[in-house]
């Protein structure tokens, strides 16, 4: 099939608080689009405020997919997300609507846009428990050193303190006997892709983040965290280790005052956005757009039309 005969797929990515939701909804309205979530925490039910999930009103303006799909204690993986996202994108295209992949989780976006062939190795609780115990006893660095010896290519793409991803890579190797890096080949999806990467001056972005955190607190974020705990979702769950939730653990355990936890959330979010760019710069057919440009929507529409010619 000629490239120009392929259906279109637009991705809207960028750091936390940059304005992805507003732009994607405006684009969807103008282009008969539907939004496919690419945020790894907005998949969880009951986690609305801390994940900056599109509001119910925003979700009624245009159709949204892969939001509120699982509870915080259900297992989930990148492979499952990729399969669900590609299925949603295909369904949207078949209806002659424009799929818009929107979110700030770069790994999720890359898995879809680059067409990762992800090892289909289900979680192995016993293996993970053993590796977690080793990390607790010897330090995460010891596990990273082992991964570096077994699969240096995979290790080069994982931060040395990212325990979850290190354990996953070791788990795949242990179960299959093959380095995870050799299993992660790519088959680009059958779409004409345009990636819009929203950017902002770092200090302006930090100010937006701080304002968003304050707005989350005013909207009831602390009560949302309490509600999750009351439902029985404890701090050991991956969902509860999310940015926007883990920072309040000291408060609920009477180890720190609330204002200190709020400030920690702001600092942690600043640090998080500094890491997000490493993912966005690798995405295919990517164009940067300043998020504070008064003509942002027009520029985005222009870039989509230009790259789709």
pLDDT for res 185: 80
Domain range enclosing 112:
3-117+186-308
| Whether pLDDT at 158 is above 60 | yes
Asked if 127 contacts 176 with a C-beta cutoff of 8 angstroms, the reply is no
Domain match, 258 and 236 both: yes
Domain match, 17 and 94 both: yes
Domain match, 66 and 211 both: yes
**Average pLDDT score over residue span 81-99:** 97
**DSSP of 135-169, one letter per residue?**
HHHH-HHHHHHHHHHH-HHHHHTS-TT-HHHHHHH
pLDDT for res 40: 96
Domain match, 293 and 198 both: yes
Convert the pLDDT of each residue in 45-81 to its tens digit.
999 999 999 999 999 999 999 999 999 999 898 999 9
List of residues 6+ apart from 65 with CB closer than 8 A: 34, 35, 36, 37, 85, 88, 92
Domain match, 50 and 169 both: no
Convert the pLDDT of each residue in 206-225 to its tens digit.
999 999 999 999 999 999 99
Choose one of 155, 183, 211: the last residue of a domain. Answer: 183
Domain match, 159 and 269 both: no
Domain match, 177 and 192 both: no
Domain match, 233 and 199 both: yes
Please state, as a whole number, how many other Cβ atoms lie within 10 Å of the Cβ of residue 306.
10
Question: Which is more confidently placed, 164 or 258?
Answer: 258
List of residues 6+ apart from 72 with CB closer than 8 A: 44, 45, 46, 47, 228, 233, 237, 239, 240
pLDDT for res 272: 95
How far is CA 9 from each of CA 74, 242, 296, rounded to the nearest angstrom?
29, 28, 19
Choose one of 134, 151, 183: the last residue of a domain. Answer: 183
Cα separation, 300 vs 20, in Å, equals: 12
Q: Residue 11: which H helix or E strand, with range?
A: strand 8-13
Q: CATH number of the domain at 304, please.
A: 3.40.50.300
Q: CATH number of the domain at 162, please.
A: 1.10.20.140
CA nearest 41: which of 277, 253, 237, 281?
237
pLDDT for res 181: 81
| Whether pLDDT at 1 is above 80 | no
Cα separation, 304 vs 309, in Å, equals: 9
**Average pLDDT score over residue span 271-277:** 93
**Average pLDDT score over residue span 12-40:** 97
| Number of domains the chain is built from | 2
| Whether pLDDT at 137 is above 90 | yes
pLDDT for res 59: 95
Instruction: Give me the chain's average pLDDT, please.
Output: 94
pLDDT for res 213: 98
Work out the percent of the chain whose per-residue pLDDT is above 70.
Answer: 99
**DSSP of 62-115, one letter per residue?**
S-EESSS-B-TTS---HHHHHHHHHHHHHHHHHTT-EEEEEES-HHHHHHHHTT
- Long-range contacts of the stretch 161-165 (C-beta < 8 A, 24+): 163/132, 163/135, 164/238
Domain match, 279 and 195 both: yes
| Whether pLDDT at 29 is above 70 | yes
Cα separation, 278 vs 275, in Å, equals: 6
Domain match, 242 and 278 both: yes
Domain match, 178 and 193 both: no
Q: Worst-scoring range by mean pLDDT, 170-174, 196-200, 201-205, 267-271?
A: 170-174
**Average pLDDT score over residue span 132-151:** 93
CA 236 to chain centre: 20
Cα separation, 184 vs 166, in Å, equals: 15
Taking CA 115 as the corner, what is the angle to CA 114 and CA 118, rounded to the nearest 5 degrees? 120
Choose one of 183, 212, 232: the last residue of a domain. Answer: 183
Please state, as a whole number, how many other Cβ atoms lie within 10 Å of the Cβ of residue 54.
24
Q: Are strands 8-13 and 192-199 parallel, antiparallel or unpaired?
A: parallel
b/e map 208-231, b = 16+ CB within 10 Å: bbbebbeebbeeebbebbeebeee
Domain match, 112 and 130 both: no
Banded model confidence at residue 136, pLDDT cuts 50, 70, 90? very high
**Average pLDDT score over residue span 6-22:** 97
């Amino acid at each position: 099939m000629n490239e120009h005969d392929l259906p279109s797929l637009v991705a809207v990515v960028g750091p936390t608080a940059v304005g992805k939701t507003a732009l994607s909804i405006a684009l969807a309205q103008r282009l008969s689009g539907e939004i496919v979530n690419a945020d790894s925490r907005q998949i969880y039910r009951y986690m609305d405020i801390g994940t900056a999930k599109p509001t119910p009103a925003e979700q009624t303006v245009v159709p949204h997919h892969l939001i509120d799909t699982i509870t915080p204690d259900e297992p989930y993986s990148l492979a499952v997300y990729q399969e669900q996202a590609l299925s949603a994108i295909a369904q949207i295209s078949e209806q002659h609507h424009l799929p818009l992949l929107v979110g700030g989780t770069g790994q999720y976006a890359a898995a879809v846009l680059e067409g990762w062939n992800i090892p289909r190795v289900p979680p192995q609780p016993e293996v993970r428990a053993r590796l977690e115990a080793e990390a607790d006893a010897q330090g995460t660095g010891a596990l990273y050193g082992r991964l570096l010896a077994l699969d240096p290519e995979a290790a080069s793409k994982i931060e040395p303190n990212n325990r979850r991803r290190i354990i996953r890579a070791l788990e795949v190797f242990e179960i299959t006997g093959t380095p995870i890096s050799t299993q992660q080949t790519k088959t680009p999806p059958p779409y004409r892709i345009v990636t819009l990467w929203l950017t902002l001056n770092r200090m302006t972005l930090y100010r937006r983040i701080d304002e968003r955190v304050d707005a989350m607190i005013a909207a009831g974020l602390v009560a949302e965290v309490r509600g999750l705990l009351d439902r029985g979702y404890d701090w050991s769950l991956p969902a509860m280790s999310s940015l926007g939730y883990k920072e309040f653990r000291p408060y609920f355990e009477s180890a720190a005052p609330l204002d200190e936890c709020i400030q920690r959330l702001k600092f942690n979010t600043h640090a998080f956005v500094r890491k997000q760019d490493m993912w966005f710069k690798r995405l295919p057919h990517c164009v940067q757009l300043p998020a504070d440009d008064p003509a942002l929507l027009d520029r985005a529409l222009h870039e989509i039309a230009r790259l789709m010619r």
